[in-house]
Amino acid sequence: MSRTSRKAGLTLDFGGSGTKGAAHHKDTKCVLYMEPQVIEVPSSSLQEKTQKNLNNTHPENLAWVGVGEDYRAVGYLAQLFLASPSLRPRKYELAVYKTLAAAWVMQQKLHLPDKFDLSLMLLLPPGEFEDAALLKSMLKDALASFSTPTGTMNVNLVRYECFPEGSGIYMMYRQKRPELLKRWNVGIVQIGYRNASVLLSSRGVLDKGKTTNLGMARMIELVLERTSGLNSVALLNAIAIAGNNPQPQHFVNLVSICDREQQLVQVQKIIAAVKEARTEYAIALMSWLKEMLPPFGELSGIIVGGGTADYLRDELMQAVKTTTVVWHGEVKIPPEFDSFGLGSRLADVWALSEYHAACLKERIKKEVATGG
């Protein structure tokens, strides 16, 4: 494989509900998704768990990496080792292991060699953007040589860029309507599972942005405070399915009581807790947004993204009813690439990956032309 042909691009979003990414090599592209868990596990245990299953499942389900003597299971495999979601650490603290695991997954899915050059673009909360330089140094060293379920990989980090969350959908929208954004003052609001963030674009000039921990995880916490014995992941899935109209059938599987009457009592308690938590959470989030955004009369529009934004669509529309709202930057994800059913949650990283692929293609073209 020639030097230019071994270049591959990886774009990642370390969301609290999971790592979302898109990888590309030449004209081939794939999407990946891994659960958010990361846990330290002995190398022998990882080998035992994965070797006999490598050909029976997708690589996302068996991802682990080792740097020196430090071995970590990532995503679904980490769940099998009873890892917690780890929402408290800053995203960059676990980003090294998640990036290494994603590099192995892309190598498997795109059939790359064990050695290749990597162009990497990452989405980080604006509040953690100052960690970008530290993360680059950590990643470059770790990628150079790390263990995986299929052997040692040696990845040369040839390009590294970090972008604040919301940048992908903003950049794609700017590509569609460049003259509009040169005149508009726009707020870019991204609401995910762990964080909510705001960027401001004043006539096409982006600011550094602000971040808060008022993601969907905060609402889940409020429900758990009002109930007992619930699993946070199962609760989140039930709330997402229930949407604006929670009914007993959405939550009955969360209750293990056999007695039908007592079961219904507990389900109604959960529904009441969900409604109260949603109201309390929405008030806190809308209050924060109003503080972070200029007066709505000074804004030409708001670009809104993130899975939690869809859930709170009614509350958001009510809060910004005097302002034009563009949902997910009008990003359209080809159905064949949304094999994980992520929908709008994939929009930001997908949009950034499209920009990334174009940049990498242009760079390779120049290198070929100059013989570099």
Pairing of strands 210-212, 151-164: unpaired
Q: What share of the chain is helix, strand, coil (3-state, %, to 5)?
A: 50, 25, 25
Q: How many angstroms separate the CA atoms of 15 and 107, rounded?
A: 22
Question: What pLDDT, on a 0 to 100 scale, did the predictor assign at position 129?
Answer: 75
Q: How many angstroms separate the CA atoms of 325 and 134, rounded?
A: 36
Q: pLDDT above 90 covers what percent of the chain? A: 66
* Average pLDDT taken over every residue of the chain: 90
Six token digits for residue 34: 């891994």
Q: How many angstroms separate the CA atoms of 119 and 223, rounded?
A: 41
70 pLDDT exceeds 90? yes
Six token digits for residue 109: 């899915």
368 pLDDT exceeds 80? no
86 pLDDT exceeds 70? no
275 pLDDT exceeds 60? yes
Pairing of strands 196-202, 205-206: antiparallel
Q: pLDDT above 70 covers what percent of the chain? A: 95
pLDDT digits (tens, 9 = 90+) for 40-52: 999 999 999 888 8
Q: What is the DSSP string of 5-48?
A: TTEEEEEEEEETTEEEEEEEETTEEEEEEE-S-EEE--HHHHHH
Spell out the residues 6+ positions from residue 343 whose beta carbon is closer than 8 angstroms to its own.
307, 310, 333
Q: How many angstroms separate the CA atoms of 11 and 356, rounded?
A: 7
What structural domains does the chain harbor?
Answer: 7-164+333-370 (3.30.420), 180-330 (3.30.420.40)
Q: Which residue has the higher pLDDT, 294 or 226?
A: 226
> 3-state class of 293 per DSSP?
coil
pLDDT digits (tens, 9 = 90+) for 98-144: 999 999 999 999 999 999 999 999 998 887 777 888 899 999 999 99
372 pLDDT exceeds 70? no
pTM: 0.90
